[in-house]
Amino acid sequence: MNNKTSLTAPQKRLLETLQRTNFGRIERLAVRDGQPVFDPAPRIVKDVKLGNPDNEARPELKAIDFILKREHLDLFENLSKFGTGTIEAIEIRHGLPFRILFEQQP
């Protein structure tokens, strides 16, 4: 899995949500068997910097296929390891997953 067309439908939806948001967070994302689940819908928090042209969606959002960045691969690998539960937040910068916050059992 190293390009967009190799992703599952839920992974593509998450990727496109990252690209559409560009800067911000996805909060309370359900994960089942390592796959993102959008029912219930996660909370999307968009960070808009006034006077900044980078507030729009990423241009890659319109691309049918492209090679995934290391951050994308790391995100999907971490979701796979996570298994089932709720991700508290995925921080997004430049349309890429930057940080994942989740509760870990002791």
Three-class SS state of 88: strand
User: Is the pLDDT assigned to residue 106 strictly greater than 70?
Assistant: no
Residue 64 burial (10 A CB sphere; 0-12, 13-18, 19+): exposed
Render pLDDT for 25-79 as a digit per residue (tens, 0 to 9): 999 999 999 999 999 999 999 999 898 877 788 878 788 899 999 999 999 999 9
Q: Give me the pLDDT at residue 56, please.
A: 80
Q: What is the DSSP string of 9-37?
A: HHHHHHHHHHHHH-SEEEEEEEEETTEEE
User: Is the pLDDT assigned to residue 20 strictly greater than 80?
Assistant: yes
Q: Give me the pLDDT at residue 79, please.
A: 96
Render pLDDT for 72-102 as a digit per residue (tens, 0 to 9): 999 999 999 999 999 999 999 999 999 999 8
Q: Give me the pLDDT at residue 1, please.
A: 65
Q: Give me the pLDDT at residue 74, please.
A: 97
Cα–Cα dist 101/77, whole Å: 15
Extents of the domains making up the chain:
4-102
